[in-house]
Amino acid sequence: MSMSRSPRVGAAGPSAVERVYAHVAEAIITGAVGASSLLTEGDVAETLGISRTPVREAFLALEAHGLLTLFPKKGAVVTALDDVETAELLQVRIMFETTAVSLHSTRPGADRAVDDDLAVLILLQEEAARTGDVLAFARADHRFHARVVDESHNRVIDDFYTQLGPRLKRLLHRAATRDPGSLERFITEHRALADYLRAGDAPGYEAALRRHVRHGFPAPPES
């Protein structure tokens, strides 16, 4: 099954499709464009000074990633993020992440590069929290959890998790905006998760991840 990914930036810089995708995704993730808002190809094309064709392609990718619902000849409506979807997204994240940690902990000579990568991402989160850049924090937060998921060494899992990325960033951004004090707590809990991963303690990691989800989001999944 082919999974849709975000448009990739080429060596020559972002294409028109990539520019549209980034522009609209950021507006939705940050809440600058709210749920149920109607977007049209014409309006977005005019705002960015481009033709409608790349807008149409970007809208298709945004729909595949759960941020838009397309209505032919009318436009696209920004999807809502309710408590049910929040719980379902977090259930999937817990499932993928704990699977990856379990595989990592039993793999002989597991690559410890993940420890260095997580440390760098925590530093990025600390800088974003210091400057109050919630969008940068949300991006680094997702990269932290995605890096753990990478330890599954399973391309299907990686593809599915990539698909969920924009919605997970949106979820984190909403939680952090509602409670700015949560950023420091997220960082502390990420350090604990990294420690469990380093120790190869999969049960400890899962328990800490569930606490992390419970503390950070209004509609956590049941254990």
- What predicted TM-score, i.e. pTM, was given to this entire model? 0.86
The H-or-E segment that residue 26 falls in is helix 16-29
Spatial neighbors of 97 by CB under 8 A, at least 6 apart, are 145, 148, 149, 209
What is the assigned CATH class of domain 83-216? mainly alpha
How many angstroms separate the CA atoms of 137 and 131, rounded?
Answer: 10
How many angstroms separate the CA atoms of 32 and 161, rounded?
Answer: 24
16-78 is a CATH 1.10.10.10 domain: yes
Could you say which DSSP state residue 44 is in?
H
Q: What is the pLDDT, as a whole number, of residue 6?
A: 56
Q: What is the pLDDT, as a whole number, of residue 8?
A: 53
Q: What is the pLDDT, as a whole number, of residue 13?
A: 60
pLDDT along the chain (223 residues), means of 10: 46 80 97 96 96 96 96 94 91 95 83 89 97 95 96 93 94 91 94 94 95 75 39
Q: What is the pLDDT, as a whole number, of residue 67?
A: 97
Residue boundaries of the structural domains of the chain: 16-78, 83-216
Could you say which DSSP state residue 65 is in?
T
**Cβ–Cβ under 8 Å, residues 191 and 122:** yes
Phi and psi dihedrals of 141, rounded to 5?
-60, -45
